[in-house]
Structures are given as C-alpha cells and as structure tokens.
C-alpha cells in the first residue's frame, strides 16, 4: 500500500508531465513537493523500485502506466472532494484545495463511487479542472490559452482558474470571474494590465500575473461552430 506522501509524488509528477516536462527532473519534483533534492531522490528510488516510475540517469523520471493510474485516482478523489465540499457543504472555492489535499488519500473506493453518484458524475471541479473518469483513463487534452495571451477586442470564456493562490481565487470570485464566465477584452495596457468586461456590464482590470492564472477558450457558441464542445 502506498503512503500519502508517495501518492503526492506521483500526482505531482503527473501534473509536471502534463505541463510539458518529461522526463521530470529531480530538482523540479523536489521544488514542487517542497522537499530537498536528496529527500526527493530517496523517494524517487522507492517509487522506481516499485515500478511506478521509470528513471533516466541524468535526465529525470516518467510515470509508468501503473504510476499514472495511481496519480489519476488521487486526482479523481481530490477533484470530486473539491466539488462536494463547495456544492454540498458551502466551502469557498479559495479554501477547498487544502481540505481536499488532506482527504484525498483517505477515502475508500465505495465512498468515491457514492460521492460521484451524489454529484451526478461531474466532468470538472469548481476551478474548471477535468475530473478523471471512473475508468481512470488519461485526461483528454483540450486546447486552452491564458487570458494574457489575447489582444483587445477578443471575446473568450473562462475554462479553468489556477487553484494554488487562495487570494487570487477570492478576488476573482468577488468580481464574478469563474469557469463559464464570458469576458470581452477591452484593453491590454503596456504595463501588462488586462481589462475585461463581463456580461453584467462590469469592467475589471487584472494584473498580468492574475490574467496568467485564467485559462480561456472561445465562447461555447464559437466552439460548437467548430465542432469543439468539451470544456
């Protein structure tokens, strides 16, 4: 049986691979999970011995199919829990990540199944991140860009919002920017400030760092015209 710490490593490596780093360097893993490189090296050796990782000397590691399955299961637990905590228990989406980090390692498969059924098998969590299905198939990549990549005059729909910065989430929720919100970009200032207008008529100016936390795609009507319907 894997420890919670081992599962955290596999989940972190999965995310880093999805972000385009493969093989994943030990130093990057150490920074992501918040440990020293020697500590990360020791854990990587254990996971490699158990055939959850493949290691390339001087390059880094990649998940084996077994390692990827475990990572997807933990991610499924996490995102179902985030959804349950926000929808059923009234948690704020800015704080729910930390709660789910604790609980994700300790629920049974029966509890996971009942959780999914109670939530009507959601496709995404409150931040717009896709929830792996019960077969734990690899998550399908859907093209998205960050808000700061777009020019003035473009209309986009929020797909996901980075969940690692509670202050950002609290602010964005307060101004009405959540997954599904349609934004019209009205100004991109030379200093990096991005100003958007919402359907409500409100105008919001976002620092570039916050705009980088918002992943967007064309509005649903435009995606449908091009045969793209998944968020």
CATH number (domain holding residue 183): 2.30.30.90
Longest CA pairwise span in the chain (Å): 57
Q: How high is the pLDDT of residue 173?
A: 93
**What's the CATH number where 38 sits?**
1.10.10.10
pLDDT tens per residue across span 60-110? 999 999 999 999 999 999 999 999 999 999 999 999 999 999 999 999 999
* pLDDT at position 19 over 90: no
Q: Is 135 part of any domain?
A: no
pLDDT tens per residue across span 165-189? 899 999 999 999 999 999 999 999 9
pLDDT tens per residue across span 117-134? 999 999 999 999 999 999
- The rounded distance, in Å, linking the Cα atoms of 224 and 218 is 10
Q: Is 185 part of any domain?
A: yes
Range of the domain at 52: 4-63
- Tell me if residue 53 falls in helix, strand or coil: strand
- Tell me if residue 186 falls in helix, strand or coil: strand
**Tokens representing residue 218 in the block:** 């064309």
Tally of domains in the chain = 2
- The rounded distance, in Å, linking the Cα atoms of 125 and 139 is 13
The structure's pTM equals: 0.89
Q: What is the mean pLDDT of residues 54-59?
A: 91
Domain end (from 12, 32, 63): 63
- The rounded distance, in Å, linking the Cα atoms of 16 and 10 is 10
């Amino acid at each position: 049986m894997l420890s919670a710490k081992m599962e955290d490593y596999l989940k972190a490596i999965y995310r880093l691979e999805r972000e385009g780093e493969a093989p994943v360097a030990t130093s990057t893993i150490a920074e992501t999970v918040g440990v020293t490189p020697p500590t990360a090296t020791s854990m990587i050796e254990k996971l490699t011995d158990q055939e959850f990782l493949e290691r390339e000397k001087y390059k880094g590691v990649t998940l084996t199919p077994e390692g990827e399955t475990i990572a997807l299961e933990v991610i499924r637990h996490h995102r179902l829990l985030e959804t349950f905590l926000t929808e059923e228990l009234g948690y704020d989406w800015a704080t729910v990540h930390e709660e789910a980090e604790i609980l994700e390692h300790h629920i049974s498969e029966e509890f996971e199944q009942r959780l999914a059924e109670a939530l009507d098998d959601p496709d995404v969590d409150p931040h717009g991140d896709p929830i792996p299905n019960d077969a734990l198939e690899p998550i399908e990549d859907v093209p998205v860009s960050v808000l700061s990549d777009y020019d003035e005059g473009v209309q986009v729909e929020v797909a996901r919002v980075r969940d690692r910065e509670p202050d950002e989430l609290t602010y964005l929720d307060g101004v009405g920017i959540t997954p599904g919100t349609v934004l019209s970009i009205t100004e991109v200032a030379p200093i990096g400030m991005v100003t958007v207008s919402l359907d409500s008529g409100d105008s919001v100016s976002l620092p570039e760092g916050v705009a980088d936390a918002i992943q967007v795609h064309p509005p649903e009507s435009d995606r449908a015209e091009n045969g793209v319907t998944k968020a």
